[in-house]
Chain A
């Protein structure tokens, strides 16, 4: 967005409703109808599989295999999926090994993904800020090389790190530990945070910090007092993307955890195997697994959008 600043110097029109520019150019009322039609169609595409998942947790297998869609209308919902997890109204107060297992994994998932995302956002934002503001030279490496080094950590298919990480974690006594999993997840989402935040910081006019420095703040002071508040929403967005990726990570969780640090995705995958599939319990587990993400998504949505619009704060 380097050139944005210079382009912005062109005379600005003072008309209202600037955001409509794209549509306004195209114009008519029928077009707005088309726009809403597209939005609704895409909303349907997004929602239908989620709807299907949630309702499947209330279906018997025969309702699944006959493709029934609407509860009460063409199938009678029951608590089957939730019962199998010990989370239905009639089982919630009974002892349930499955529920204990679910709750333990759920708690671990929360700690692991929140922990990893927080660390990644902190480390990643600092690094991204540095990379967008200063010229580094570590030996032959310059900024671009450093950025690419981070990015390259994202490229390798995780499967080939299985044996090396197994050996490494065994030697460091980090197997089956939440801290070990957090460190690994931090590593995997760090490049994404850095690349997103680099775009963020680049779109914040440098003049703000320069003014602050004239007032006698150091680089860290300027970062802390001026840049951070502006870009905090952007960090929230990066945090949420990281959270989702960590929350659903399956491969390393299956490899490196045993009894203590185990997380939810392995349990979701356990609903299928050589005896077919428990549609209802997989659906119930998937529903339970996305529920917290949806809540966070709704709570923080404004930050996601606003966050990544740091540049508009001028």
Chain B
């Protein structure tokens, strides 16, 4: 504490630090209030308020003790379905991610009180993110599935549920976790696999648009924008056409004495995940409101990656790169979000909710009070894959938020199905992690998970927890408007989806390095995708693709 105060005085006073100081004062107040609460049984609303005070916004990262406390407070739902000691002697193995000592390590804290109450014991397999996909695929292929519970991203459902390895969710679990509370897009068909429910969602994913409010309200830039003949008023771009114009305009400009940059692209491969960022640029061009498909044709699995919409998105990146920071070619999405945008470089970036949740709470962020959120930009025209024409919609620009990765879920493996006690224990543990209240805490504090339930979008709860109302409203709206968008571009959960992304990244790297033009490179990707589809099995892929789109 002493050190940090000293740091505040010593370091040059930046906005971030002023903000940080204010936040910790707020947190102290909140903690004082917490101490005044009666320790008796809490009503639902009070429980949620109390949860959000652990440890309090601005009080630093939650610790193990906080995780355990949250787990204990949220145990009521389990107690309703399980008697004390019911699972004594049951041993379960849980495979999941260790991402910066969150995910699996967080689950351990959450489940400690559950283990104490039920008598079950859980052992853990922690994987680094880079190993996750290969480890899962190799376990499936060699029959070495040695885990009962699995934390998995929805895009892998094709590989797991498609091969009959997951256990179907019992109805009592659906009731315990209140599945109706999920945002609509996480319900069927995206929440199911061939009509059956397997996933307990613990996360919802979409890319939103993060921008710097100070840059887009800067009077000097506004004047320069006018004098250089920019279209309309200087303000936050609403379409990719405007993003491109603003990015090119900002090249060579300065804001508050620092080089200004516009949109931040992530041209460097990122184990397949980098493809989502081209996707975010492309969905507004490629996802037509009359057509559910945007990545492949639904009748033939023919890739659309080399159609005019995607090629235009690739070309946009090529056009914008010269106006982006000089080292941008080696920037992966992690760099753009955490080393550039949050550290004050660049004024627009597409990312998952982590940027917003880190902007105010992370020590790495210097932009806490100058960041705004929206759904991804739209486009004045949208490509119609059926007619081959660019349509202008009567409703205005076409928006198509990118539901990248759909979200993490907890799955129970089919290998527990033969053992009734183990089956119930596994599902009870999974339900505890996917509970309604616990998820509120997880979406408000560093956990790796975004809001994904209707009940998460109650601004008053967040404000009571210490968040700034304008900030949190903007953030939550960008999420819920993406989830609930009628023209959302939803990722197909077909087997091997990351193979497609990975090979695309390889080709995109060549395009961005100037070895091919956009069309030629996109044709190469399409050819490689056709090869993968044939290798995996075209008929099955087509069927699963259609099922995942619900057509």
Contacts and interface: CB of A to CB of B under 8 A. Distances in A.
The answer to whether A and B touch directly, with their CB atoms under 8 angstroms apart, is yes
Interface of A: 60-62, 64-65, 75-78, 80, 84, 86, 91, 94-98, 101, 162-163, 166-167, 170, 175-176, 254-255, 258-259, 262, 266-267, 269-278, 281
Contacts of B343: 62, 65
Contact of B65 (A75, A80, A95, A281): A95
B97 A166 contact: no
**10 closest Cβ pairs, A-B complex:** A61-B364, A273-B129, A276-B338, A270-B98, A273-B99, A76-B7, A269-B128, A60-B363, A258-B125, A270-B128
A153 B328 CA distance: 40
B354 A276 contact: yes
B127 A254 contact: yes
Contact of B144 (A76, A166, A278): A166
Given A77-B3, A167-B142, A273 B128 contact: yes
Interface string B126-140: 111111001100100
A75 B8 CA distance: 10
Given A76-B10, A275-B354, A98 B101 contact: yes
B460 interface: no
A76 B3 contact: yes
A166 B131 contact: no
Contacts of A273: 97, 99-100, 128-130
B507 to A, nearest CB: 22
Given A62-B16, A65-B339, A65-B364, A163 B99 contact: no
Interface residues of B, number: 55
Given A78-B3, A166-B138, A274 B99 contact: yes
B123 interface: yes
A37 B102 CA distance: 46
B347 interface: no
B309 to A, nearest CB: 26
A96 B66 CA distance: 11
Q: Considering residues B6, B143, B364, which has the most beta carbons from chain A within 10 angstroms of its beta carbon? A: B364
Nearest to B146: A258
Interface in B339-377: 339, 343, 352, 354, 358, 362-364, 366
A269 B132 CA distance: 12
Interface in B103-130: 105, 108-109, 123-130
B185 to A, nearest CB: 20
A91 B108 CA distance: 18
Contacts of B540: none
B109 A97 contact: yes
30 contacts: A60-B363, A61-B364, A62-B364, A62-B366, A76-B4, A76-B6, A76-B10, A78-B3, A94-B64, A96-B63, A97-B108, A97-B109, A98-B64, A98-B101, A98-B105, A101-B98, A101-B105, A167-B142, A254-B127, A259-B124, A259-B125, A262-B126, A267-B98, A269-B131, A273-B99, A274-B129, A274-B352, A275-B448, A276-B100, A276-B337
